[in-house]
Each structure stands twice: as C-alpha cells, then as structure tokens.
C-alpha cells in the first residue's frame, strides 16, 4: 500500500534535544529543598543481617533521614503486583531488592539508605551506618547451586514444577522446573542418522544502558506521592508502588523522564520506593542517581546459563528430534527468562519430536532482569552452534539445513502456541542470493558464520488519545515511554492516517495521572500495538469529523470521504467542509472538542525471525576476533521508519556482539571484579564495522500496516554467528561466551578443544 509518511525516514523527533544535551533525564531533575539519597550496600554476597545501627549516620550534620527495611510497609506473604498483562511479580522480591530485610543475597544489595542535603554528606553518612552481618556460604556457580547439598539462597524456596499444583518438599535453589514435550524424542533420535549433543555456557552480562538509574520523589502535604523516574513503564512502576506502599493509584503519580536506554533493565520499581520513603520521612523531595558501579553491581543483568542441546537428523538433513536442557541463573531471586530461552532457541525448527526442560535457579548474584529478547541469546548460541556442527557433519550447507527444517505458518512453536504468518523462509531465500553469502571469503584465518534468531513479539495493552486542536493541528497523548523512537513512529502513523504534516502533530508521553494506559515499553511491542491504537484513534477522529460534516452538509456520514484537510461528499466533491472550520468550531459549538480514542489489549504476536551472517578474521597470535563484515537479515513486517529500524538492528547486533566476544561479569567468591566500563568491555564504534541490514517485509498477521516489533531479535544471533565464523576461520568451536581473545587463543592452542560430539550408535 502506498504510504506518504509511513515508510519514510522522518528524523527522530527527540533527537535534537538528546544530541544537544537538553533532554531532561532523571538526574537532571532539581526540586526546591531537594535532598540526595545514597544507598548502603551489603559488602557480602550472602549474609544474614543481624543488626543495623543508624544513629551515627543520622547524627551527621546535613543528614535528614536514614531508613532500613523497617521503614517500609509490611507486605502480606505471597503478595504480588501486576507487572504486564496478567503477569505478576512477587512484591516481597521487589521489596527485598529495594531494601533487604533479613538477608543480603548478593554483593551490593541495598540494606539501608540515607538522605542528606548534598551527595557528599550522603556518601559520608552511608559509611557511618553500622551493620552487623553473619556471613553465609556463597552460592556462586549455577550448577553447584542446583546440587541438593548446596547452601540455600532462600530457606523457604521450594521448587515449582510447572503444571503441578504442589511444590517440592525440600527447600532448594531451583525455583522452577519446567518441561515441554511433544512427540517422542527418544524415537526421533533413534530415527536419526546423526545425533549430536553439546553443552554451552554463557556468563552474566549487563544491558549496558548509557544512563544509570535516577529517580526523585516528592510527597505533597496531603500525602500524594509524585515520582520522576527513568523507567520503561510508568504504569508498571505505579502498579508496584501502589502495592508496595499501600496507596491508591489516585495518590501516586509517576512521571517519566527521558530514558537513556532500558533494554529491559528498567521495569522494576527498585529505587523509587526508597526515595519515596525518604521523602515521606523528611517531608522534602529526594533524588537518587546511581553510579556506574552501582549499576553494574546492583541492578538487573542478564542470566548466566548452562545449556545442553541435542539434535538428530537424517543424512538428507531432516531433523528428527531436538532436545534441550536449559539452566538459567536468576541471581538472588527467582525469575530468569528460561522459558523464553526454550521458545527462542528452538523457534525456527520444524520438528515433531521435541523435548525441552528449563531450570530457574537462584544464586548469590544480582537478580536478573530482562535483557533484550530475554533468554534468547544464550539459547540461540547453543542451538545455532549445534546446528552448524550438524550441517557440517552431514556435509550440508548450513543455510540449506535451516531451509530444510524451517517452520512455517500453521506449525507450532515450542511451548505450544500456533505459528501465524512469519517470514523465515523469505529471509533464508534472501540470504542465498545476497553477496554477503555468495561472495567468497578469501584469506587465512577467515571464516563466515550463519545463525538464526527469533523473538515472539509482545502485545499487551497500549492506548492513544488524539485531539484535533482548534487550528486543525493534532495532539497525540500516550502513556508508553519512548525508548526506541516510538514517539516518532507514532507521529508517522498519526500523520499518515490523518493526512497531516508531521510538524502539525505533537506526540506526548504523559504521566500516570493523565496519560492513556500502556503496559511497559519492551518486548518489541510499542510500535506494533500502537499501530492499532493510533489507527483506531484516528478512525475515531475521522468518524467524528464525518459526523459533524454530515450535519453541516445534510448528508449521511457514510456518503462522506476524508482527506486533504477536508471532508467531502463522495458523489459531489465540491460539496465539502474544511477541516480547519470543523476544528475551529469544535471548541466553541456543538458537541465540543474532537478527541479520538484507540486501545488494544491482546493483539496476536507478530513473531520476527532474523539471520545474521558474520565474516571474521582471527589473529592467531592474540586470539582477537575482527569482524570484517556483518549483515543482519530480519523480517520487520513493515518498516514504519526504515532508518530507525536499521538502527534497532544495528544496536541489537552490537549488544549481541559484545555478549559474544567481550562482555562478562567476572565474579570472585560472589563479588563482581569488573564493575566499571573499562573492565566490563562493551564494544565501541572502533571495534565494529558498519553493520549492514537487509529488511524483509512479510506482513504480520494483525495490525493495520503489517509491521512487526524489531528491537529484540537482532541481539539473538550474534553469539552463534560469530562462533560459527570462528570455527570456519581457525577450526575450533568455542562453546562458551564470551569468546574473548584469551579464550580463542587457548582454544586454538589446545590439543583437545572440547569433548567430541556424541555420535549416534549406527553411523
């Protein structure tokens, strides 16, 4: 369909203020009488908190309050708060993460907080809080944590077996175990000509958002709370605060500041409760800004994993069975994305016999949070590496192996959901003909790797209100925080439907007192769901315009057409009413102002597949991997703003490349050793070539434009794409991320690189 604004590279509306430094982030907020907060953190990865003496800290001049968990309202056991859709989160977990009560369960966990008149006094005061700890054995390693004799992170945590009403009878560090099964994998493996099995490991990584968390709270004289915060979801945060503080939503307002990156790590209300309680106690506004070290030690990184994958195929390349055991480390509280790992890792493959189990395991590390396609990257690293091995074993082109086993519409995803329209086949065909695949890669120590990726694409709730201003411009109001340029895509969609210039439309992300409800910005869902909400709101506006024009022209509304800033009679186009007249009159006469509403709660998913092709050159003397060329193929459904979509692909790929080659949390006895951006090595522009992108547009099954969410898929393939490329470059397969120069070097200089893959009995 021909569009005028959709599909164009409209400059990001918030770009000028972001690049000029004028955008207001949480740390920029200054309120009269404001105090500065500082969190006191546990020096032990695992310890019982015996006693906290705040007296010295409270006595320091300039200190206005010192709080501990005792200052927070008491919660009911098992209390939850809505997080997104019908997914809830344990309130007790949120509260403990905001401020530990009985135990510190990771190094750096918040145990107390102070508020003082400047950040330096706050710092000093934090050091004066005296806490008596009883150190406990550290549960550091994921696999060790799963053993029955492991020390317990939670003495009252019993394993939930998905689908079973009863929990386990022994407390455990295994919070959850699940199994998905279809067909008969044992039979399937027996049918295979080749069976391979291997175990892969990934480390804890951080989302690396540029902006540390920052928030401020103010309590009005009548008790109403206002919070300004860097967050991915104002209503999400409000839900948690309402439940944590025991206040009605009418007494808690959450105001979004510009968010300098979230990627899933800014959805939980971990800091807002602290500044609110300090504000309540002091009667003054309180602000908290995390340091980079705080961010790395004590926010919500991505899970370390141990994943075993096993696949069987015929000699002709047909998969007969796939099984996986995925163990995800959630950090100090349950909630790793292991089920998503199962879904994402196995999503591309049509195989009737599938068995996958997942373990959600707690350890003494910071509690993980979502990280861009949460759970997906480690799973795809494992599966796509194994598939590459399998292709080689049967002497088949890896692309062809994927094509032979690709799912299509009508098949079933892992975990059981039906597959609607997808573009996997189209992606594979595009690669086949693309120079990045067809051009030979010559030279020593050079290799090319392929890996697939997937994200299911969230939906949940989004709403939009659109007002026609009295001068015929328009105002769009949404409650969805703009992380990725959604103000711009929303503007484009409104401009398209209303047939207005972008300049004539303003899009505002509002606060919880006034904005239309939206679930958290994440899951690649905002532009997707807003396409429906904005479209509906525009249709509502146009219907109202037609209704009013119909009255003036004395015709029926269905005889009218809207466009070119007028409403005209289809059979007599000269008979028309101008938009500007309807707009001007709307605020003075008749029914009143024209406001359209649109909302969606449960669109079907718009699953997005991707495939990355990486060319690398490995320096045998150092193990350093240089990326020569990197191409992302992705089914985006319909690119509302191609430049922004390309940016999403590039950004996600870069995070995946960092995850693959250089980023890892290095723990020593539960203490993070590289809690700074020098030693936690994210890629920078100098480390990378231009990431090429190829946008494939297979329209999603639902939505007015067929667009799909695009932001998360691109982080999924790089691990395996690069591992497979390294293998073709230097003949070793790495089975652990990150593939640092050190690891690559030792792998290429060892006799045995890893266990020989298992062979089927009959060869």
Residue 599 makes contact with a second copy by CB under 8 A: yes
Closer residue to a second copy (CB): 501 or 750: 501
Identify which of 587, 586, 504, 485 has the alpha carbon closest to the alpha carbon of residue 545: 586
Residue 248 makes contact with a second copy by CB under 8 A: yes
Q: Binding residue for a second copy (CB under 8 A) from 556, 587, 666, 759? A: 587
Question: Which of the ranges 214-222, 313-321, 403-411, 740-748 carries the binding residues for a second copy, by CB under 8 A?
Answer: 214-222
Q: E-strand spans in 619-751?
A: 625-635, 667-668, 671-672, 691-696
User: How far is Cα 302 from Cα 280, in angstroms, rounded to an integer?
Assistant: 33
Identify the helix (H) or strand (E) that includes residue 448: strand 446-455
Residue 242 makes contact with a second copy by CB under 8 A: yes
Closer residue to a second copy (CB): 409 or 473: 473
Closer residue to a second copy (CB): 517 or 746: 517
Structure tokens at 381: 């690293």
Structure tokens at 118: 């400047």
**Share in percent of the chain as helix, strand, coil (round to 5):** 30, 30, 45
Identify the helix (H) or strand (E) that includes residue 47: strand 47-53
Question: Which of the ranges 27-35, 311-319, 428-436, 721-729 carries the binding residues for a second copy, by CB under 8 A?
Answer: 27-35
| CB of residue 505 to a second copy, shortest distance in Å | 6
| CB of residue 468 to a second copy, shortest distance in Å | 10
Q: Binding residue for a second copy (CB under 8 A) from 474, 567, 603, 675? A: 474
CA 365 vs. chain centroid, Å, equals 20
Residue 601 makes contact with a second copy by CB under 8 A: yes
Q: Binding residue for a second copy (CB under 8 A) from 5, 6, 10, 13? A: 13
User: How far is Cα 104 from Cα 394, in angstroms, rounded to an integer?
Assistant: 51
Closer residue to a second copy (CB): 224 or 743: 224
| CB of residue 599 to a second copy, shortest distance in Å | 3
Residue 515 makes contact with a second copy by CB under 8 A: yes
Residue 578 makes contact with a second copy by CB under 8 A: no
Sign of CA dihedral 655, 656, 662, 666: positive
Q: Nearest-5° angle of CA 604, CA 705, CA 341?
A: 40
Q: Binding residue for a second copy (CB under 8 A) from 38, 105, 154, 253? A: 253
Diameter of the chain by CA atoms? 88
Residue 489 makes contact with a second copy by CB under 8 A: no
Q: E-strand spans in 548-655?
A: 560-563, 566-569, 572-578, 595-600, 608-618, 625-635
- Residue 131's CB is within 10 A of a number of other CB atoms, namely 19
Residue 28 makes contact with a second copy by CB under 8 A: yes
| CB of residue 82 to a second copy, shortest distance in Å | 7
Question: Which residues are within 8 A (CB) of 208 and not within 5 positions of it... i.e. 6 or more apart?
Answer: 261, 263, 655, 658, 663, 677, 682
Closer residue to a second copy (CB): 394 or 643: 643
Q: Binding residue for a second copy (CB under 8 A) from 513, 547, 581, 619? A: 513
Identify which of 731, 723, 736 has the alpha carbon closest to the alpha carbon of residue 748: 731
User: How far is Cα 446 from Cα 661, in angstroms, rounded to an integer?
Assistant: 16
Residue 497 makes contact with a second copy by CB under 8 A: no
Residue 76 makes contact with a second copy by CB under 8 A: no
Residue 673 makes contact with a second copy by CB under 8 A: no
Residue 591 makes contact with a second copy by CB under 8 A: yes
Residue 17 makes contact with a second copy by CB under 8 A: yes
Structure tokens at 584: 């001007």
Residue 463 makes contact with a second copy by CB under 8 A: yes
Residue 602 makes contact with a second copy by CB under 8 A: yes
Helix (H, G, I), strand (E, B) or coil at 422: coil
Residue 78 makes contact with a second copy by CB under 8 A: no
What does DSSP say about strands 194-202 and 305-313: parallel, antiparallel, or unpaired?
antiparallel
User: How far is Cα 583 from Cα 594, in angstroms, rounded to an integer?
Assistant: 8
User: How big is the chain, counted in residues?
Assistant: 763
Strand partners, 179: 357
Structure tokens at 79: 């209390």
Residue 593 makes contact with a second copy by CB under 8 A: yes
Q: Binding residue for a second copy (CB under 8 A) from 239, 240, 524, 641? A: 239
Closer residue to a second copy (CB): 73 or 593: 593
Residue 580 makes contact with a second copy by CB under 8 A: no
User: How far is Cα 135 from Cα 645, in angstroms, rounded to an integer?
Assistant: 49
Question: Which of the ranges 39-47, 71-79, 421-429, 470-478 carries the binding residues for a second copy, by CB under 8 A?
Answer: 470-478
Residue 574 makes contact with a second copy by CB under 8 A: no
Say if CB 221 and CB 249 are below 8 A apart.
no
| CB of residue 465 to a second copy, shortest distance in Å | 8
Site map (CB under 8 A) of a second copy, residues 133-162, x = contact: ------------------------------
Q: Binding residue for a second copy (CB under 8 A) from 2, 32, 685, 761? A: 32
| CB of residue 142 to a second copy, shortest distance in Å | 33
Say if CB 655 and CB 210 are below 8 A apart.
no
Half-sphere exposure (Cβ direction) of 170: Cα atoms closer than 13 Å? 10
Residue 519 makes contact with a second copy by CB under 8 A: yes
Closer residue to a second copy (CB): 139 or 216: 216
Say if CB 582 and CB 545 are below 8 A apart.
yes
Closer residue to a second copy (CB): 93 or 506: 506
Closer residue to a second copy (CB): 704 or 718: 704
Closer residue to a second copy (CB): 411 or 504: 504
Residue 442 makes contact with a second copy by CB under 8 A: no
Alpha-carbon distances, residue 418 vs 247, 624, 635, 703 (angstroms): 41, 42, 18, 18
Q: Binding residue for a second copy (CB under 8 A) from 405, 461, 484, 492? A: 461
| CB of residue 470 to a second copy, shortest distance in Å | 7
Residue 600 makes contact with a second copy by CB under 8 A: yes
Residue 506 makes contact with a second copy by CB under 8 A: yes
DSSP result, 79-140: -EEEEETTEEEEHHHHHHHHS-SSEE-STT-EEEEEEESSHHHHHHHHHH-EEEEEE-----
Question: Which of the ranges 56-64, 358-366, 434-442, 513-521 carries the binding residues for a second copy, by CB under 8 A?
Answer: 513-521
Question: Which of the ranges 234-242, 337-345, 718-726, 733-741 carries the binding residues for a second copy, by CB under 8 A?
Answer: 234-242
Q: Binding residue for a second copy (CB under 8 A) from 7, 348, 423, 516? A: 516
Say if CB 232 and CB 207 are below 8 A apart.
no
Identify which of 435, 390, 380, 396 has the alpha carbon closest to the alpha carbon of residue 610: 380
Question: Which of the ranges 371-379, 594-602, 629-637, 684-692 carries the binding residues for a second copy, by CB under 8 A?
Answer: 594-602
Helix (H, G, I), strand (E, B) or coil at 674: coil
Q: Nearest-5° angle of CA 227, CA 233, CA 235?
A: 70
Question: Which of the ranges 11-19, 187-195, 201-209, 304-312 carries the binding residues for a second copy, by CB under 8 A?
Answer: 11-19
Half-sphere exposure (Cβ direction) of 678: Cα atoms closer than 13 Å? 0
Number of residues engaging a second copy in binding (CB under 8 A)? 62
Q: Binding residue for a second copy (CB under 8 A) from 155, 222, 316, 763? A: 222
Helix (H, G, I), strand (E, B) or coil at 704: coil
Identify which of 739, 710, 750, 742 has the alpha carbon closest to the alpha carbon of residue 627: 739
Question: Which of the ranges 130-138, 254-262, 306-314, 507-515 carries the binding residues for a second copy, by CB under 8 A?
Answer: 507-515
Strand partners, 694: 633
Which residues here bind a second copy, judged by CB under 8 A?
13, 16-17, 20, 22, 28, 30, 32, 82, 85-86, 220-222, 224, 235, 239, 242, 248-251, 253, 460-461, 463, 465, 467, 469-471, 473-475, 477, 503-506, 508, 510, 512-517, 519, 584, 587-593, 595, 597, 599-602
């Amino acid at each position: 369909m021909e569009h005028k604004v959709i599909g164009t590279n409209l400059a990001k509306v918030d770009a000028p203020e972001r690049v000029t430094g004028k955008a207001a982030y949480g740390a920029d907020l200054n309120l009269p009488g404001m105090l500065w907060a500082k969190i006191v953190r546990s020096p032990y990865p695992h310890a019982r908190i015996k006693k906290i003496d705040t007296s010295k800290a409270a006595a320091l001049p300039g200190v206005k309050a010192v709080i501990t968990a005792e200052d927070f309202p008491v919660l009911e056991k098992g209390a939850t708060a809505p997080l997104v859709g019908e997914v809830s989160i344990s309130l007790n977990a949120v509260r403990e993460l905001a401020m530990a009560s009985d135990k510190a369960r990771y190094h750096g966990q918040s145990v107390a907080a102070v508020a003082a008149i400047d950040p330096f006094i706050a710092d000093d005061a934090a050091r004066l809080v005296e806490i008596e700890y009883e150190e406990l054995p550290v549960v550091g390693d994921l696999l060790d944590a799963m053993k029955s004799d492991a020390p317990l992170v939670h003495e009252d945590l019993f394993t939930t077996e998905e689908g079973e009403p009863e929990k386990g009878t022994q407390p455990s560090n295994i919070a959850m175990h699940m199994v998905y099964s279809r067909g008969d994998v044992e039979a399937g493996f027996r049918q295979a000509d080749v069976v391979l099995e291997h175990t892969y490991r990934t480390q804890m990584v951080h989302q690396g958002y540029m902006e540390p968390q920052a928030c401020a709270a103010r309590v009005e004289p009548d008790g109403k709370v206002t919070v300004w915060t860097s967050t991915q979801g104002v209503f999400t945060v409000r839900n948690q605060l309402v439940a944590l503080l025991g206040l009605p939503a009418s007494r808690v307002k959450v105001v979004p500041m510009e968010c300098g990156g979230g990627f899933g790590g800014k959805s939980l209300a971990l800091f807002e409760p602290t500044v609110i309680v300090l504000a309540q106690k002091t009667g003054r506004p309180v602000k908290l800004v995390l340091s980079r070290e705080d961010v790395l030690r004590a926010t919500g990184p991505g899970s370390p994993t141990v994943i075993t994958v096993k696949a069987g195929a015929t000699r002709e390349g047909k998969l007969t069975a796939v099984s996986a055991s995925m163990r995800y480390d959630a950090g100090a509280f349950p909630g790793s994305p292991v089920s998503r790992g199962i879904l994402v890792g196995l999503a591309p493959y049509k195989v009737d016999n599938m068995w996958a189990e997942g373990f959600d395991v707690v350890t003494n590390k910071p509690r993980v949070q979502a990280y861009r396609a949460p759970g997906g990257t480690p799973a795809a690293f494992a599966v796509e590496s194994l598939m590459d091995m399998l292709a080689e074993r049967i002497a088949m082109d890896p692309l062809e192996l994927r094509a032979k086993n690709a799912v299509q519409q009508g098949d079933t995803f892992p975990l059981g959901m039906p597959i609607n329209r997808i573009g996997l086949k189209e992606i594979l065909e595009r690669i086949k003909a693309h120079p990045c695949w067809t051009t030979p890669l010559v030279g020593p120590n050079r290799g090319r790797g392929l890996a697939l990726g997937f994200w299911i694409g969230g939906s949940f709730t989004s709403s939009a209100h659109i007002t026609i201003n009295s001068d015929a411009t328009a105002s769009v109001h949404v409650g969805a925080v703009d992380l990725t340029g959604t103000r711009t895509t929303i503007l484009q969609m409104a401009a398209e439907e209303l047939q207005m210039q972008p300049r004539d439309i303003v899009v505002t992300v509002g606060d919880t007192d006034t904005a239309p409800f939206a679930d958290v910005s994440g899951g690649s869902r905002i532009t997707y769901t807003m396409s429906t909400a904005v479209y509906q709101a525009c249709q509502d506006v146009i219907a109202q315009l037609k209704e009013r024009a119909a009255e003036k022209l004395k015709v029926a509304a269905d005889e009218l057409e809207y466009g070119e800033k007028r409403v005209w009679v289809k059979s007599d186009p000269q008979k028309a009413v101008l938009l500007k007249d309807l707009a001007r009159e709307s605020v003075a006469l008749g029914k009143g102002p024209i406001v359209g509403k649109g909302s969606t709660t449960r669109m079907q998913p718009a699953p997005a597949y991707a495939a990355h092709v990486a060319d690398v050159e490995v320096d045998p003397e150092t193990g350093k991997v240089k990326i020569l060329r990197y191409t992302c193929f992705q089914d985006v459904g319909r690119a509302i703003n191609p430049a922004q979509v390309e940016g999403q692909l590039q950004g996600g790929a870069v995070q995946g490349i960092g995850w693959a080659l250089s980023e890892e949390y290095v723990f020593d006895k539960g203490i993070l050793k590289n809690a700074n951006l020098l030693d936690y090595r994210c890629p920078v522009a100098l480390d990378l070539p231009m990431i090429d992108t190829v946008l494939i547009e297979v329209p999603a099954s639902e939505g007015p434009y067929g667009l799909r969410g695009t932001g998360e898929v691109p982080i999924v393939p790089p691990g395996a794409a690069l591992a497979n490329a390294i293998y073709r470059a230097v003949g070793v397969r790495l089975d652990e991320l990150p593939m640092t120069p050190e690891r690559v070097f030792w792998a290429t200089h060892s006799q045995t690189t890893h266990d020989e893959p298992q062979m089927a009995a009959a060869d």
